[in-house]
Amino acid sequence: MTAVPSLPTRPVTGRPAYRSVNPATGELLDEFPTATGAEVEEALATADAAYRAWRTVPLEERAAVAARIGELFTERAEELAAIITEEMGKPLAEAVGEVEFCAEIFAYFAAQGPALAADQPIPAPAGGRAVIQKRPVGVLLGIMPWNYPYYQVARFAAPNLVLGNTIVLKHAESCPRAALALQQLMDDAGVPAGAYTNLFVSHDQVEQIIADPRVEGVSLTGSERAGAAVAEIAGRNLKKVVLELGGSDPYVVLDAADVKEAARAAFATRMGNTGQACNSNKRMIVMEDIYDEFVAELTRQARGLEPGDPAVDAPGTYAPLSSRAAAEGLAAQIREAVAAGATLHAGGTLLEGPGAYLAPAVLTGITPEMAAFREELFGPVAVVYRVSSDEQALALANDTPYGLGGAVFSTDPERARRIAEQLECGMANVNAAEAEGAGMPFGGVKRSGYGRELGPLGMDEFVNKRLLYVND
Q: Please identify every residue annotated as catalytic.
A: 244, 278
What phi, psi does 154 have (nearest 5°)? -60, -45
Chain centre distance of CA 347: 26
Report the interhelical angle of 224-236 vs 203-211 (nearest 10°): 40
Residue 45 per-residue DSSP state: H
Answer whether 386's CB lies under 8 Å from 288's CB. Answer: yes
Give the integer Cα–Cα distance in Å for 226 and 232. Answer: 10
Give the integer Cα–Cα distance in Å for 402 and 471. Answer: 48
